[in-house]
Amino acid sequence: MKIPQISIVAPLYNESETFPMLVERINALMDSSPLAIEVVLIDDGSKDDTAMRIRQLALTDERYHGVLLSRNHGHQLALTAGIACAKGTEALFVIDGDLQDPPELLPEFYKLLKEGNDVVYAVRRKRKEGWLKRTGYYLFYRLLRSVSYVEIPLDSGDFALISRRVVDVLNKMPEESRYLRGMRSWVGFKQTGFEYERDARAAGESKYSLKQLLGLAYNGIFNFSEFPIKFMSRTGVLAILISLIYFITVVIKKLFFVQVVEGFTALLFVIILFSGVQLLALGIIGEYVLRIFFQSKGRPLYIVKEEIINREYI
């Protein structure tokens, strides 16, 4: 096999239904492209036969590189494993295995890369999820954009073509709570967007649960924004001001009107206000401490069980 210019990287988790369609479309792309392409398929601890299909394909077609993880590490870490294993000398093309990211767009992305861009990221012009999920995504991206110290493109996911020099920088970033689209933006270099209409899943259901989506959103906000800590500082100042106003009001009534707010209601208001502020502060600090805790362990980000390339186990 020729030394690959482009590596197509796709993490898979329980994608047995979409696997034949994914391979068929990628094969058609590679057969029609003048570029030397390898495909890195990462099994993220699937419970169906996805790992077996990847193994069989990598053993029979040298253009495919199989990476089987020891367990389910999550989409971002599976993608990290694929990026680390990819050998493409020119660029990496990151897609999802559910075919919502059309692999056929590679020529368009590559054209923009050759124009001097180091990152060509996809911008979702239209999504085919339910209205609730679409609204959630829309609001989150704009919230993150407003609070982040890095300019993260709106409506842009992991679907992108990334130059080798940007990939090399990403591989040197050891953070445990990963938000790759934010890391990609933080790296810098010349980046440009490419609008496309995001397809519906080819088959099956989304593997991202609400809990996982919230975890990814938390990583985006806490890893690329100073807003949570500053928000707590401002909330603390606001709470102090409210308390001072309340205190001054009570003193004035005592001195001039001989009327002091009495009873349990006023005391309850003060206790609830300060207790709520303190718990919120502890929760936000806890998010940062938790990330420091996991990072300080120094454990590997993922564990590769098997790597299959060029018809040999490595």
Report yes or no on 115 lying in a domain: yes
Strand positions, DSSP E, the chain: 6-12, 37-43, 64-69, 91-94, 119-126, 156-163, 191-197, 304-309, 312-313
Shared domain check, 156 and 104: yes
pLDDT digits (tens, 9 = 90+) for 31-86: 888 888 899 999 988 888 888 999 889 888 888 999 999 888 888 888 998 999 88
Do 167 and 81 share a structural domain? yes
The answer to whether the beta carbons of residues 103 and 26 sit under 8 Å apart is yes
Does residue 49 belong to any structural domain of this protein? yes
* Residue 11, in any domain of the structure: yes
Question: What is the Cα–Cα distance from 251 to 207, expressed in whole angstroms?
Answer: 59
pLDDT of residue 313: 38
For residue 197, the enclosing domain spans 6-224+299-313
Assigned token pair, 55: 């193994």
- Residue 56 placed within a domain: yes
Highest mean pLDDT among 20-29, 129-138, 151-160: 20-29
pLDDT at residue 299 is higher than 60: yes
Is 0.75 topped by the overall pTM? no
Do residues 42 and 80 lie in contact, with contact meaning Cβ atoms separated by under 8 Å?
Answer: no
Question: In this structure, are residues 302 and 69 in contact, taking their beta carbons and an 8 Å threshold?
Answer: yes
Q: Are 49 and 196 contained in the same domain? A: yes
- CATH number of the domain that residue 304 is part of: 3.90.550.10
Q: Is residue 305 part of a domain?
A: yes
Closest C-alpha among 273, 280, 298 to residue 231:
280
Helix or strand or coil: residue 252? helix
Judgement on whether residues 150 and 105 belong to the same structural domain of the protein: yes
Residue 8 confidence (pLDDT) above 80:
yes
Q: Answer yes or no: is 1 within a domain.
A: no
Rounded to a whole number of angstroms, the distance between the first and last alpha carbons of the chain is: 17
Closest CA to 204 of 133, 101, 98, 128: 98
- Residue 207: predicted pLDDT: 57
Same domain, 82 and 169: yes
pLDDT-derived band at 311, boundaries 50, 70, 90: very low
Shared-domain flag, residues 199 and 307: yes
- Per-residue pLDDT at 250 exceeds 50: yes
Find out whether 16 and 49 touch, Cβ atoms under 8 Å.
yes
Return mean pLDDT, the chain. Answer: 80
Same-domain pairing of 70 and 138? yes
In the prediction, which pLDDT does 210 show?
A: 63
Do 281 and 305 belong to one domain? no
Which candidate, 4, 15, 20, 9, places its Cα nearest to that of 158? 9
List the one residue out of 210, 208, 206, 215 whose CA is nearest residue 99. 206
Look at the chain and report how many structural domains it folds into: 2
